[in-house]
Every structure is written in C-alpha cells, then in structure tokens.
Structure 1
Amino acid sequence: MKRSALSVLSLLVFLPVGMAQELIPVNFQSKWFPQAQFAGYFVAQDKGFYAEEGLEVTVLDGGNVNPTVAVASGNADFGTDWVANILTQRDQGLEVVILAQVYQTSGYRLVALGNSGIEEIADLAGRRVGVWGFGNEFAAEAVFSAAGFTSNLDPTVTDPDIDAVVYAFDPSLVFPNEVDAASAMTYNELDQIVGLGYELNTLNVLDPASIGADLLEDSIFATPQTLATEDFKGSGLSGREVAERFLRATIRGWEYAIENQEEAVQIVLAHCGDTCAGSGSRQSPLIHQTWQMAEVAKLVRPAPDTQVGALNQEAFERSVALLVDVGLIENAYTWEQVVDPSVYDALQ
C-alpha cells in the first residue's frame, strides 16, 4: 500500500502543468460553427494541449453570434474575429485587444462565372454582388469603396453602382441566378460553389489584395479587464497568465493541425454537425473539411518560416487605414491602442 501511494504521488508530481489540479474553465468564442476554420482550437482541446496548461477550454459555436460583442459583454473570455469587426465595434464603445494574428493572409474572395464578363473587381460596376451580414459585410464594403463604387449597403445612396444582395452565407441560395458574383472564403464557400457543378477553371476568383483591399481576418482577442484581473475565476492566476497559457496551447494546436492535416480533419469532424458539409458533389463532410483544412493552413502559415500567431504591425496599420479611408470606422486606431503584443512575446 505504501508503494502504491508513493507511485500515485510521483505521478501527480510529474503530470504536466494543470493535470494534477482542478482545471481552470475558459470560454472561447469562435466565429462560426465547428469546422476546420478553427481546427487549431479543436486539436488543442482534443490532444490535451489546453489541459497540459491547466485549462478546460470550451469552444463556443459562432453562427449568428458577434464574437467581439460576446467577449466584450463577458459571455466569453477569449474570441476570434476579423479585425474589421473588432474595430467597428470599438467605434461603438466595445474595447477588446488583439493578442495574436492566426490568419496571416486574407481568405475572402468574390467569385463569378468565367463567362460573366467579370474578370476583375472593376467589372463589378452595375452588377449584383452577394454579401454576408452579421459583421461580415465589412470585407465586401471595403472592396467596393476601395474600387470607388457605391452600394445599397449605404442607405444614403440613391443610385448605387453595386446592388448588394445580403444572404445567409450558403452560395447555393443565390449563385449564380440571383447574383453575378458571390462572397466566398477560399476554405469554405469556394469549395461549395465547386460542389454545385462549377469547376475552378470555369470561375473567376477575384482577390481584394489585387486592389489593396484585403483585411486581416481571424485574430485572437480578449478584453483589457480580463488581462488585468489578478485572480482569474478564483484560480490564483492572473488573467495575463491564463492568456499566455491559452495562447501557447492554441499555437501548439495550430502547428499540429497544419503538420497532421488528416488527423486534424478527423478531430474537427467529431465536433461537427451539418455545418461541416459542403455542397452538391462535395457534400461529404470529409471531402469538404479536407479542402478546408488545406486552404486554412495556407492562411495560417503562408510560408514555411511563418510563426503561427505572429503579429504584423504593418498589416494591422494598413487594415486600419483602409477601414478609415472607406468610412467603415471613424477613428484611426493605433497599434498601441488595439494590440497587446506582450502576451505573444512572452511565449517566444
């Protein structure tokens, strides 16, 4: 019995951080329903990376939830959102700070049929363009304004250049009969459009970066209050310490997902409902999530030497300048106002 008790004690001593004590509950607000867009978080959860940091992380479904509002209102501790929505909400008085930049490049595109006559963004004048709502319309608005177009998204415009058709994300609802070009993420709706019977070589995929209208997308953020708390949920750890643990495990999750994509897809599928499915010939969740994981990996680590989660001040300031120029935000927020690099830097 003594030997048994000693063995158990030894095991507890050498367990990873947090495993020998009660895990700290952390709520993370995603931007959509479970899919490979968030693979790194699910991998960190299922592989025990969060638990090794002493955290019990719950990934909250997004859907029609505004992530910045959810975190700012205290319904979640950390979240992921596009920089455009983070800043527009800041204009409304909701203050959060960016801790890491998961997507280093933008995956937002506008997709038209190859025979539509729309070969570049300038060709969208006079056309119907599909646009998402719920804080996702900012990407399209930035493209329109950067190209010098007005749209009916601005209620003060009486004769808009572009007829924006707002719909609920699924391209099959509008493309190609109701709109001439549809919004699409490279990792999701583009594959859904392919599944509807339009092969990639029959589509024109317009990249906002071609006119300097690409915006930073999935960032990890928290409130200043969360970071400043001295005793996070009675854990004895400060909010900043918890943020470091959360971020370290999350980065491990993304690195693992990128390097082990087949396994990562299986982990994601275990969390999925119908939202993991594609469309038409690519309806299979396995087929669609395999595409999605491969495309997401390109955004998270666009080059072999890219550091997952790295913050890029130049890219941030360019996004701010664009949002100000096109009138989507009123204030030209500085890096120091919105970004706290100290949490990410503490991991290096």
Structure 2
Amino acid sequence: MGTSSHFSLRRRTMALGGLAAVIGAPIWAQTRAPVKVRFQCDWRFEAGTTPYVVALKKGYFAEEGLDVTLNVGAGASATVTRMASGNFDMGTGDLNSLAEFAGNNGVVPAKAVMLMYQNTPAAVFSLKKTGIAKPADLRGRTLAAPAGDGARRIFPLFAAANGLNPVTDVNWTAVDPAMRETILSRGQVEVITGYLASGMLSLQRLGVAASDVHVMKYAEYGVALPGNAVIASQNFLNENPQAVAGFLRALTRALKESVADRAAAVAVLKSHEPLIDTRIEALRLDLILDQEIGTPAVRRDGVGDIDIPQFQKGIDSLAKFLAFKSTPDAKSLVDTRFLPPQAQRMVFPA
C-alpha cells in the first residue's frame, strides 16, 4: 500500500467524522489488504505476553485487518532502542526508558498509546540466606541484570530513595536474559533486578521456593514511576491510525478474556510456545493480572489511560537522577486517542 493512498483515505475519513471515524468500527479492514504490524515484545513468550498471543492465535488481530508478527524481546528498555531503529511498528516498552531515550537523543522514537502497568513492576531479588533484607544491605554487593533491563535502568531512583549511591555503593554485571534467575539460584550472584512476575516465577521454575526469596519492589520503596506501555512509532501512527486503534481493540478484548478464563489463556500461550511450563505460567499470569495490571485504579477506571501530570513528575525525577541531556515533556511521549472506549477497557469484573 502506497503512502499516498494512506493519506488519501485519512483525509476522506476525517472529513466524514473526524478521529472517531478513524478509530471506530473496522469497516476499512473488510475492503483493504491486511496491514502488517511488526510488534516487539518486551520478553520471551511467557505469561506477560499472553494477551498479545491470545489476540493473535484467536484471530482478533486478523478481524481488525491486521497481519501481526510478534517478536521475542530482551527487556522493556531494549524495546525502546529497537523501536528507534525503525525495524518495528509497535511494541511493549518501558515508559521510563522511553523518556530517557527522548531526553538524551532529542527525538521520540515512539509514543505510548496504552499503559499496561500503572506502577513499575521493577524489583530487587535475593535469596534470604544471603541476609539481604533492606536496601542498605545492598552496599558492596554486585547486582546482575541484562543491559537492557528496565529495572536496571531505573535503579538509581531506587538507590536515591533509600540512601544509596547508585555508582559507588553497588557494582553491576551484565547477564543474558535467559540466565539471570539461573545464576541467582546457583549462588553465582547474590542480587538480581527484574520485573516481579518474571523474576519470581522464573526462580520457582528453577526449584527455588517462594519463601526463600526476598523481594524489594521499587514501588514500595519510594519509586513512583509507571511501567510498561504499548508504544507505536510516529510513522506508524501517522500512516495507520486505524491499525493502531484496531490493535488496541483486539488486545483489550484478549486481555479481558485472559482475566475471565486464565487457564484457557495459558493453553493458548502453550499452543504458541510449547516449551513453557503450564503450571509456572499460570502462576505468573495470576501475579501479572492481579498485582501488576489489576491495580485498584484500573479496576475502577479501566486499563490503558495515562496520568500525564504523574508521568511528568516521574520524568522530572528520572532526568535529575539519570542526568538527562534535556527533560522531555510527558505529553510529547503519549498519544492515547486510539484507546477503546472506557466501557470496553473495564477488563476486570466489578
């Protein structure tokens, strides 16, 4: 499909009813070839990607006129840099990493179109036998995480909020995403950072009892930041607004189904990635839905919207502690016009 045809369609559609017509029912999808969407996931095909896999496997993306390709990720922070390469149209990225990229590069590689985690799910993990029970116990320790790990990138805020110097009090070692929990379970490192559901359940899959793990959630230790959002490149937003709206409708539909029938959602995930441990991913999905996505605010107001003033406060903190070259305006990083109506975004039962 040529660029001129996209803009021609947009002009006619806007003339017939403005943005509501652009993002409304997918009549356009019935008469046009499917729009290809190269989607960058933030991680492997585990419970966190379940809504995307459900939307793909059950044909919800296809019903919206979309030909979606889901690509395995290497961290929510890495998604942002991959989006900047121009090789992906949409993805799941860390909002804080998006702000950092914009602040240091003077460009916005993508805009957040739907917030998935209102609070950062970042956390510090250790085994209780090491005696690490509070932030001060991290002094002199070596922390391990992938270079693109969102929790690693924003650790300076956790440190600052808890009286630690993020440069001199701790050391870091980079590890492959697939080995992070393994080396902790083997005692090769004492501390790792990561997202709550990923770290906790991966350790359990390796045979580590939940009662043997100590977790410090950033959100409970003074870090008021959002987490992952669905992001879309500016070019894709400009050229395919209907596709963005359709993607979010399909995703919201799949998320609601995943909440209602979790076992069925995990079964769909298993059909897409046969190597997963069904028991572990069922536990992980419960944790993600009940703790990371299903906050009281989301249960009350619906999933997806972004509190711009609160996000700006987080950006200001990030800019200070991570020494951004400039402080981006939160509004420049967000475009939630394509969200489904609030009634559709009430994915948790009343």
* Pairing 1:68–2:80 present: yes
Structure 1 pair 346–93 and aligned structure 2 pair: CA distance change class (3 A)? farther
Structure 1 pair 346–257 and aligned structure 2 pair: CA distance change class (3 A)? closer
Deviations 1:210-243, CA, capped at 9 Å, x for gaps: 33225322211112222223xxxxxxxxx22221
* Pairing 1:244–2:259 present: no
Tell me the CA shift for residue 129 of structure 1.
2.1
Q: Which residue in the other structure is 1:217 paired with?
A: 227
Percent of aligned positions that are identical: 20
Alignment check: 8 A CA contact 1:187 1:296 kept: yes
Alignment partners' CA distance in 1, 2:193 and 2:149:
14
**How large is the RMSD of aligned CA atoms in angstroms?**
2.6
Tell me the CA shift for residue 302 of structure 1.
2.1
**What letter is aligned with 2:270?**
L
Q: Secondary structure at the match of 2:130?
A: coil
Q: Which residue in the other structure is 1:261 paired with?
A: 262
Alignment partners' CA distance in 2, 1:195 and 1:224:
39
Q: Which residue in the other structure is 1:171 paired with?
A: 181
Structure 1 pair 94–36 and aligned structure 2 pair: CA distance change class (3 A)? farther
Q: Secondary structure at the match of 2:187?
A: coil
- Match 2:332 to one of 334, 337, 345: 337
Q: Which residue in the other structure is 2:278 paired with?
A: 286
1:78-157, aligned counterparts within 5 Å? 78-90=90-102, 91-95=104-108, 96-136=110-150, 137-151=152-166
Tell me the CA shift for residue 314 of structure 1.
4.1
Structure 1 pair 185–305 and aligned structure 2 pair: CA distance change class (3 A)? same
Structure 1 pair 176–140 and aligned structure 2 pair: CA distance change class (3 A)? farther
**What letter is aligned with 2:161?**
A
Alignment partners' CA distance in 2, 1:343 and 1:300:
19
Deviations 1:43-70, CA, capped at 9 Å, x for gaps: 1112222122121211122237932233
TM-score by length of 2: 0.79
Q: Secondary structure at the match of 1:305?
A: helix
Q: Secondary structure at the match of 1:112?
A: strand
Q: Which residue in the other structure is 1:313 paired with?
A: 308
Deviations 1:298-338, CA, capped at 9 Å, x for gaps: 21222333512222224422321221131253322222211
**What letter is aligned with 2:289?**
A
Alignment partners' CA distance in 1, 2:91 and 2:56:
15
Alignment check: 8 A CA contact 1:254 1:308 kept: no
**What letter is aligned with 2:266?**
V
**What letter is aligned with 1:147?**
N
**What letter is aligned with 2:91?**
G
Alignment check: 8 A CA contact 1:32 1:61 kept: yes
Tell me the CA shift for residue 118 of structure 1.
2.0
Q: Which residue in the other structure is 2:14 paired with?
A: none
Q: Secondary structure at the match of 1:149?
A: coil
Alignment check: 8 A CA contact 1:106 1:217 kept: yes
Count of aligned pairs: 309
Q: Which residue in the other structure is 2:46 paired with?
A: 35
* Pairing 1:26–2:33 present: no
Alignment check: 8 A CA contact 2:100 2:319 kept: no
Alignment partners' CA distance in 1, 2:342 and 2:301:
15
Alignment check: 8 A CA contact 2:145 2:193 kept: yes
Structure 1 pair 22–168 and aligned structure 2 pair: CA distance change class (3 A)? same
Structure 1 pair 83–261 and aligned structure 2 pair: CA distance change class (3 A)? same
**What letter is aligned with 1:183?**
T
Alignment partners' CA distance in 2, 1:197 and 1:226:
43
Tell me the CA shift for residue 199 of structure 1.
2.2
Alignment partners' CA distance in 2, 1:195 and 1:60:
23
